[in-house]
Amino acid sequence: MAYLLKGVSILGAAPADLFIHEGVISDKPVEGAEVIDATGLVALPGLVDVHTHLREPGREDAETVETGSRAAALGGYTAVCAMANTSPVADTAGVVEQVWRLGREAGLVDVQPIGAVTVGLAGKQMAELGAMASSAANVRIFSDDGFCVADPKLMRRALEYVKAFDGVIAQHAEEPRLTEGAQMHEGEVSTRLGLTGWPAVAEEAIIARDVLLAEHVGSRLHVCHVSTAGSVEVLRQAKARGVRVTAEVTPHHLLLTDELAAGYDPVFKVNPPLRTRKDVEALRQALRDGVIDVVATDHAPHAVQDKECEWAYARPGMLGLETALPIVLSVFGEDWDLIADRMSVAPARIAGLDGHGGDLTKAGTPANLTLVDPSVSWVVDPAGLASRSRNTPYAGTTLPGRIVATFLRGEATVLDGKAVK
């Protein structure tokens, strides 16, 4: 299939025609190309999410690789990295290959499995990282996300071990003893609500330790969902020293604060928790400065019964794939270069996903891209989302920017704002 995107604006540039042919960007008109009127639409390299929970295998009632892939494509993504905390855990070549194969079958985005660092996410014994790296899934990111690799010796060894195949450890930075029973950010609001606090220092202490470990062994480190102003300062110093560390921030940590816990509605319960306005401001600045490299959704679908309950009993996490770009647009405005870098180019580089995050102005670039209409606002309706779950914190919120079309290697996955399959 060939496409002509008529009058499209690549990253906000002057409108021009863009040709897609045989899976790549073409600089020549193609006979019989399907014409899409892209007047007023902005083309971005397809978004890449380095932190997605697709829940399959194990919790197919909350999400499947297929439903999550559809949500991703509708959110403008062409690649997502599927976290390892499934059931069974993605800690063997068998499970990561299963997830990879399910992603291929769904065919809506590239599903790149993340492998667990330790067997069963238990933090005790290193999983067969090499076998996952050598498998068909070609795993490069390893993470126990949901749990911190708290044991410093194990963390050091994992950082070292993955150098053999250019892997990276993505750390869920949460000192476990400091967060026992933790329910929300520790501060004024947790005191008022009588909910056990999750202190910022529990994140900052692990990041500080891990950047020192990564520096010591000369390895790459990636920090998941950075949530505090203090973490930003630790990262800023580490980067200034030349430590090979990258970091992500979620859309919700760029927008929402702990005050939202006041009604005890667990749709606002997430780990790490929503922080304060001061943290939100620091995270925004860090993303602008590049101290934080990427926006990652931490898309975490949960079944209704796991959220319609008491706060303390609810599972942490929120949906993210279908609202990420609109949230980033609402926070940063139409800074398309920033958006393309932090949501596509940089995450593709961190995940080693060649073919994503490419330059759309160059002929031959794989045609992984998405078209956004920045002039359209929409109201988030949980029931209208493609995810199997409904736990979005933005229900009823008006957000700017609508994804009109998404292309994966030249094939449309979304057209007219609807998934093609």
Partner 1 sequence: MIRHLRSAADLDAADATLILDTAGEMASLTGGREVKKLPALRGRTVVNLFYEDSTRTRISFEAAAKRLSADVINFSAKGSSVSKGESLKDTALTLQAMGADAVVIRHPASGAPHRLAEWVDGSVVNAGDGTHEHPTQALLDAYTMRSRMGRLDGLRVAIVGDVLHSRVARSNVLLLTTLGAQVTLVGPPTLIPLDVAAALSEKTQVSYDLDAVVPDSDVVMMLRVQSERMQDSYFPSAREYSRRYGLDVARLRKMPEHAIVMHPGPMNRGMEIAPEVADSPRSTIVEQVANGVSVRMAVLYLLLGGK
Which chain residues interact with partner 1 by CB under 8 A?
183, 186-197, 263-265, 305, 308-313
Question: Among residues 292, 251, 248, which one has the least CA distance to residue 401?
Answer: 251
Q: Which of 298, 306, 341, 373 is catalytic?
A: 298
Buried b (16+ CB within 10 A) or exposed e, 324-333: bbbbbbbbbe
Q: Is 125 exposed, middle or buried (0-12, 13-18, 19+ CB in 10 A)?
A: exposed
Q: How far apart are CA 275 and CA 260, in angstroms?
A: 10
Q: Which is nearer to partner 1, 13 or 309 (CB)?
A: 309
Closest approach, Cβ 307 to partner 1, in A, equals 11
Q: Which is nearer to partner 1, 96 or 229 (CB)?
A: 229
Count CA atoms closer than 13 A to 73's CA, side-chain side: 30
Residue type, 306: D
Residue 293 falls in the annotated catalytic set = no
Q: Where are the alpha helices (DSSP H) in 18-140?
A: 65-74, 93-106, 129-134
The pair of structure tokens assigned to 320 is 């993210």
Closest approach, Cβ 198 to partner 1, in A, equals 12
Q: How far apart are CA 411 and CA 421, in angstroms?
A: 12
Question: Among residues 301, 331, 355, 364, which one has the least CA distance to residue 65?
Answer: 301
Please, are residues 99 and 111 in contact by the beta-carbon 8 Å criterion?
Answer: yes
Q: How far apart are CA 49 and CA 68, in angstroms?
A: 12
Backbone angles phi, psi at 163, to 5 degrees: -60, -30
Q: Is 1 exposed, middle or buried (0-12, 13-18, 19+ CB in 10 A)?
A: middle
3-state SS class at 236:
helix
Question: Among residues 367, 356, 354, 416, which one has the least CA distance to residue 1?
Answer: 367
- The residues carrying an active-site annotation are 298
